[in-house]
Structure 1
Amino acid sequence: MQSVRMEVVPSGTAMQTQFEYVERKGIGHPDTICDGVMEAMAVALAQEYVRTAGRVLHFNVDKGLLVAGQTDPRFGGGRVLEPMRLYVGDRATRAFDGTIIPVGDVIEQAAREWLQTHLPRVDPAKHLIVIDELQPGSAELAAIYAQSTITANDTSVGVGYAPLSETERLVLEAEQFLNSTQVKAELPAIGEDIKVMGVRRDRSLALTVAMALVDAHVASETAYFDCKQQAGELLQDFLSSKMAELDAVEVEINTLDRRGAGAEGVYLTVLGTSAENADSGQVGRGNRVNGLITPCRPMSLEAAAGKNPVSHVGKIYNVLAFHIAQRIVDQVEPVDAASVWLCSRIGYPVDRPWSVTVQVALPPDADAAEIEPLVARVVDERLDHLADLTDQLITQGIPTPATSAT
């Protein structure tokens, strides 16, 4: 049985605080592109290793840099001048028992498929160059994968919590609403690069949205501002219908825009992402595994995307911590909120963390002594079934946060 330390905090949600800051980088943001592509590479490599060796071998592709390209956006349609460049670094096993593993081909195909799926205007053959800088790993770390019991390849902390606050939920849903097929059908000029920053003061929420518009669907400056206004109205109505505890929500979009400055004074793109021209991206600078950046909550700075799905606790424990926190809230009454910290020690079995701490929010009359074994039981159950999670990470990657926005 795993030793679990439980701490109790007063019952209530994040609404008890006077402020919150929450950020969401959408699917077309350069940092999110990096995370998504690297995670797709990790899934593809893991599956290639299973086909070749019968098991996942040593690799990590969590060091990536997306260098922005060059474009010439214009009302009515511009052009791409230089492609984006994706540098892929860290470690990968390129041979097993004399069989060469085509790592370069695998990661490049994974990158192209991810871009085709998520960024419809990007032609990977024309608009992206993949630079493979993956090197063989150390013998000590590579040996982990030949053991009957997989051990942690790092000493690291994973953190998760549940449930989302209303501010967090609305920030997440705001981006996914603007990127939904419903909104894109009505406003096809909206690109995929959408970033939402939410600031709550008491019971009022203000959102600042950066939203790329695609020049081929924007005939003029007037058309640009019309589209921006329509998007703001749609989002305002959507968020107002989703509020429960909040009293007011305010939306501002593309606040850097300057009327009268033409294409140079607005957020206009050719491909729908700032990575084409304005902004580079890097793995780990974006959303955590729950799809949000939450500086008012416990967070890990680990870049989960691209890490090995069977041994790298920087991925496994961050996903698992959110799962455990949600399971505690769902199954252990009267807990109404939970935060979970899982800490590994390199060389120890992945399914037996070095340290586990759970913080639960309980009403004043709750008996913590009765709650603690129930919480420990949830932790044990999830650790005992850790293989289910690692299998999911091998075949599907890090789960995408679900919302009611699409």
Structure 2
Amino acid sequence: MRNIEIEELSATPIAERKVEVVERKGIGHPDYICDSIMNQVSVELSKEYIKRFGTVMHHNIDKGMLVAGEVKTKFGGGVILKPMRLIFGDRATFEVDGEFIDVGSIAIDTAKQWLKDNLRFVNPEALEYQVEIAHGSAELTDIFKRKDTVFGANDTSAAVGYAPMTATESIVLEIEKYMNSPDFKERFPVSGEDIKVMGLRAGADLYLTIADSLIDTFIESEEDYFRKKDELLEDIKTYVSERTELKPSVFLNTLDREGRGMGGIYVTVTGTSAEDADSGQVGRGNRVNGIIPLNRPVSSEAAAGKNPVSHVGKIYNVLSHRIANEVYLNVPDIKEVYVWLLSQIGEPIDQPKIAAAQVIMEEGSLDSVKKEIDEVIDRELANIQEFCMDLAYGKVPLL
């Protein structure tokens, strides 16, 4: 028997509140780069461990930093003066029964491949790489040697997920994905990958402030910059107006000032502000559903890079959103649902200290759907091993 609690929440759903604030850091944002690369290192390590030893071994690559470099921008194409530096942490298994795992090479090769696949104007070979991944503690490593059917949690940690996403949350997420899509980049190659979207909904009015790191190679002059920026803005406005019933106002690169040359425009050499303006760090980017929803309760854990079979900071973060979505889709008369999961270190991850659902009903009583909600939560926890393997192989999107 699992400790499952279900209660009705007496609250106004987020979409019906007067003010809502949502942020999305795009694929070229320094924080996103850190999160995504460190998580991919965990995926590649997990695959290597499974291939060689039949199971995921202890590792947590959830500490990392991208140190900004230095560039000189110039109309027609600038130059890199100092490379970015990517620092990897935290712990991993380097040896099993006399067999050595080259963790450092896996980390660096994974980072280079990610950069090649996602950032058009960043040369992976030009970065500096600093591997600070060390051996894990004896007790945490021992979890992986125990013969339990389900691993014990390696931390006492809580997570919360919710469903559904609001119209504001959805459009903020969709805009960045649209602007970083292959089709958009083909039509507007000047658009960089470092895109940040901040959404404010005040009543039915939606204010979207977007930053896009335009690439200096495609810009001939200050006048050309503002012309291309206007073209981008008009396309984004059209996209937004066709996809929301809210009343949108869209703003792009609002720090710009005409007549100030390079000091008055947002241009980059590589398409990311990490080249000279902003360093990145794991855990400062999007939550596991792809946004930073400031009106919602969220976990303090950084899910990216944590191991996928015992670290509840990753497992419960993602699973709580999955359970909430399953409840919302499969149980009738629910307007909004929050799912909370709390682990106790050492206890099996399929037996949380508490699994709680807080429900805002559309109509009817909670008593009429309690059993169905309980069944959804119980089913998802019972299938946690399969879910963890999907995490291990990178089949579950995290950012």
TM-score (norm 2): 0.97
Q: Do structure 1's residue 74 and structure 2's residue 96 form an aligned pair?
A: no
Q: Distance in 2 between matches of 1:340 and 1:262?
A: 50
Q: Distance in 1 between matches of 2:278 and 2:396?
A: 25
Identity of aligned residues (%): 46
SS of 1:206's equivalent? strand
Q: Distance in 2 between matches of 1:334 and 1:178?
A: 35
Q: Distance in 2 between matches of 1:320 and 1:14?
A: 21
Equivalent position of 1:404 in the other structure: none
Structure 1 residue 332, shift from structure 2 partner? 0.4
Q: Do structure 1's residue 238 and structure 2's residue 236 form an aligned pair?
A: no
Equivalent position of 2:373 in the other structure: 375
Contact kept, 8 Å, 1:13 with 1:165, in 2: the verdict is no
Equivalent position of 2:84 in the other structure: 84
Equivalent position of 1:304 in the other structure: 303
Deviations for 1:152-177, whole angstroms, at most 9, x for unmatched residues? 00011111111100000111111111
SS of 2:379's equivalent? helix
Equivalent position of 2:26 in the other structure: 26
Taking a change above 3 Å as real, the CA distance of residues 312 and 36 of structure 1, as seen in their structure-2 partners, is same
Contact kept, 8 Å, 1:40 with 1:397, in 2: the verdict is no
Structure 2's unaligned 5+ residue stretches are: none
Equivalent position of 1:225 in the other structure: 226
Equivalent position of 2:196 in the other structure: 195
Q: Distance in 1 between matches of 2:48 and 2:210?
A: 39
Equivalent position of 2:388 in the other structure: 390
SS of 2:305's equivalent? coil
Q: Distance in 2 between matches of 1:43 and 1:50?
A: 11
Contact kept, 8 Å, 1:65 with 1:88, in 2: the verdict is yes
What is the total number of aligned residue pairs between the two structures?
Answer: 397
Structure 1 residue 232, shift from structure 2 partner? 1.1
Equivalent position of 1:117 in the other structure: 117
Structure 1's unaligned 5+ residue stretches are: 402-406
Deviations for 1:293-338, whole angstroms, at most 9, x for unmatched residues? 0110111121100000100000000100010000001100011221
Taking a change above 3 Å as real, the CA distance of residues 291 and 375 of structure 1, as seen in their structure-2 partners, is same
Q: Do structure 1's residue 399 and structure 2's residue 397 form an aligned pair?
A: yes
Contact kept, 8 Å, 1:11 with 1:363, in 2: the verdict is no
Q: Distance in 2 between matches of 1:161 and 1:208?
A: 25
Q: Distance in 2 between matches of 1:376 and 1:129?
A: 50
Q: Distance in 2 between matches of 1:399 and 1:389?
A: 12
Q: Distance in 2 between matches of 1:348 and 1:303?
A: 21
Structure 1 residue 233, shift from structure 2 partner? 1.0
Q: Do structure 1's residue 327 and structure 2's residue 326 form an aligned pair?
A: yes
Q: Distance in 1 between matches of 2:157 and 2:9?
A: 25
1:212 maps to amino acid:
S
> What pairs up with 1:149-188 in 2 under 5 angstroms?
149=148, 150-188=151-189
1:97 maps to amino acid:
D
Deviations for 1:320-370, whole angstroms, at most 9, x for unmatched residues? 001000000110001122111100000000111111111112134x12122
Deviations for 1:256-282, whole angstroms, at most 9, x for unmatched residues? 111111122211001100001110000
Q: Distance in 2 between matches of 1:326 and 1:363?
A: 16
Equivalent position of 2:270 in the other structure: 271
Structure 1 residue 199, shift from structure 2 partner? 0.7
Moved more, 316-325 or 390-399: 390-399
Taking a change above 3 Å as real, the CA distance of residues 94 and 400 of structure 1, as seen in their structure-2 partners, is closer
Equivalent position of 2:96 in the other structure: 96
Contact kept, 8 Å, 1:86 with 1:131, in 2: the verdict is yes
Q: Distance in 2 between matches of 1:92 and 1:397?
A: 21
Structure 1 residue 220, shift from structure 2 partner? 1.1
Deviations for 1:14-64, whole angstroms, at most 9, x for unmatched residues? 221000010000000000000010011000111111122221111101000
Q: Distance in 2 between matches of 1:388 and 1:231?
A: 43
SS of 1:339's equivalent? strand
Q: Distance in 2 between matches of 1:398 and 1:272?
A: 27
Q: Distance in 2 between matches of 1:17 and 1:47?
A: 44
SS of 1:192's equivalent? coil
Q: Distance in 2 between matches of 1:12 and 1:219?
A: 51
Contact kept, 8 Å, 1:15 with 1:202, in 2: the verdict is no
1:102 maps to amino acid:
D
Structure 1 residue 11, shift from structure 2 partner? 8.3
SS of 2:8's equivalent? strand
CA-atom RMSD, angstroms? 1.3
Equivalent position of 1:211 in the other structure: 212
Q: Distance in 2 between matches of 1:276 and 1:298?
A: 33
Taking a change above 3 Å as real, the CA distance of residues 71 and 397 of structure 1, as seen in their structure-2 partners, is farther
1:135 maps to amino acid:
A
Deviations for 1:77-123, whole angstroms, at most 9, x for unmatched residues? 01111111111111111111111110000111111111111112111
Q: Distance in 2 between matches of 1:218 and 1:240?
A: 28
